Every structure is written in C-alpha cells, then in structure tokens.
Structure 1
C-alpha cells in the first residue's frame, strides 16, 4: 500500500475506478488489520489527489469506513493508529475542502472530540490540533460551539453515515471535559477550541503549539 501511495501520481486515470473498487473490497473483506485498512483509505485519497481531482468520483464509502471505525482507537494498543488516522483526515478533509460538505465536516469534528476523551494525551493533542485546522478550514462548523443552535432533526451518534447523522444538532460538550484534563496542553487546546480557535487574544495558542 505504501508503495502504491508513493507512486499514485504515475497511475493512469483509466485505472482509478478499478483501483478504488479493489481497495474498498480489501477493506470490506475483513482480512486486514485496522491499520492496514487505514492505509487502504489513505492510498485511495492519494490516488484521487492530483489527476483524480478532475474525475467525478465521490469516495463516500471510504469516509464512511473511517468515520464508523474511529472508535476502534483507544488508550490501549490501537493508540498507535491515531497518527495514521490524522494523516487520512488531512487528505480526506483538509486537502479536499472543496469537495467536502459541511455536514461531513461537522460529523468528523464531533466524533474526533469524542475520541479525544478515549486516547492517550499525546493523541488527544493531535486530535484537537486537527480539529483546530478543520474549524479554520470549515468556518461554519463553529455552530458546534453554540449549545443553543438547533437545526432540523436529532443528532444520531450511532449512525455510521457522517452525511446523515445530523451533527449540526449537537454541541462539542467534550471540550469542557477536556478543559479539565490532567495534561496541561490538552487543557490549553480545549480552552482554545471552546473560544472558537482564535488566532489572537488571550485564548490564542502560543506559536509552539499552533504549529502542531
């Protein structure tokens, strides 16, 4: 997978559809470890970057797979998978910002905040730093900071489809719990996000933290 990802820019666009089908089939087969399935997701989006941008392909099934399996990560053995997940999110959301709906962004931000409660502090910091980037990339997601904001429907946290879980009807209450975390940097990131991730002022991050 790593080799395929490295040379994705050399692959003829005629093979993209078939490659994505194969990658998804590998994921669905159940024969891969969690980290191997993450590499499949990562490879799919590297294939779609560059030349793949001109194709009308919505890799929703890969978004769904990552979204529904995020909670496989925890403070135990799978904590090592957080780094790969964050790399996946970078190519799936940040670098494809024009192709990502607000609903999808809201759902991932919400689920990542919940995940930050279940992993080791270094992973929580990475997750919160990613959410900071996502909140800057998708400014309208700040509605998750307003506990009085209401849309249509009810938030369905158990739904596996990020597009349809009604994440606009929830709030990031997890940040208030993380603000009382025992690790000072986790506390700082949580307070920063609660304030709307400002770039200046008392709640802005110090330069050494904002580069994380």
Structure 2
C-alpha cells in the first residue's frame, strides 16, 4: 500500500450511488469507510429473525415502524452508505425520502449477522461506528455466530459508550428512545 493512501476512499459517495443504482437486483452494495462492500443476500433464518423482531415492535410499540433493508447515510459527515437490515422510526417518518436517507429520525438500526467472511468487520466493528457517528441512539445486533443479542447505545464522538451482550433466551431491554423489552427465547429456534 502506498504511504498515505490507507484512508483514501475507493470513490466518491456520488460515484458509489451511481454504481449502486446500476447493480443487479441480486446484489446489495454498501459504502463503508470509503470501501464498496457487497452485502450478502438473506437466508431463511435471517428473514425469520427479522419477522420475529418486526412482530415484537408492532405489538409493543405500534407508534413505530421497523422498515427492512433501509439505506442510511452514515459515518462522520455522512460519507458512508449502509443498508441496515432494519431501521426503527416513528410511523410515517420515511414519507418522501429517497433510497439513502439521513438518520435524524432513526431510533434504532438493526443488523442480523450473516455467515460470510466479512460479517465480523462489517457488523461488529464498522457498522457500530458508522451508526454511532450518524447519531442513531440504539444499534441492535442479533449475532447468530455466538447466539447473542448485543445492544449498543449512548452514541458519543463516533462510538457507542455502552454495549451489552446477552445470550439468546435472555430478557433484553432496548433503552430509550426505543423502550422495548424483548424476550429472546424464540431466537433459539433459528440457530443451526
């Protein structure tokens, strides 16, 4: 690597958005830390976990909506583009927004780990930092590798100050502004 180029983005945000618009429907692209990344397509258990969480949110917070596969402007100065598995927002707050939206109304971003080589760096390192830098109050990571739920909150200076990891089956408190208590026992059914 040439000295001084380790933090140079592969392309501009505008070039990424143009590339993403022309990508085949079978590929989802993200632009994280200046690098284009391919987000893996979903498997059945991933979809079932998302639907379980959607049902919980609708039952416990009917004033909110959990939207799937939402494009967000993330990282410092919004130079990143992440496609969250889910974003929890007040009902109607996405009306009129484009594919890549600001994060000002997002209460929680959700990621469910995939079984690919990039999931550790993407879901456990880069996305928490990007979501924190964008000011998203809560980041929920459903980590299928170690059968845990990780709740990140209190974003400050591009990092979440608080992180709590609980095993599938535990009671999980999603803090304000989400304010939902999840009983995660059903997640054990989606582990292979």
User: Do both proteins adopt the same fold according to a TM-score greater than 0.5, normalized to the shorter chain?
Assistant: no
TM-score with structure 2 setting the length: 0.39
Judging by fraction of residues, say which structure has more helix: 1
Structure with the bigger RCO (C-alpha within 8 Å, sep 6+) is 1
TM-score with structure 1 setting the length: 0.37
Which structure has the greater CA radius of gyration? 1
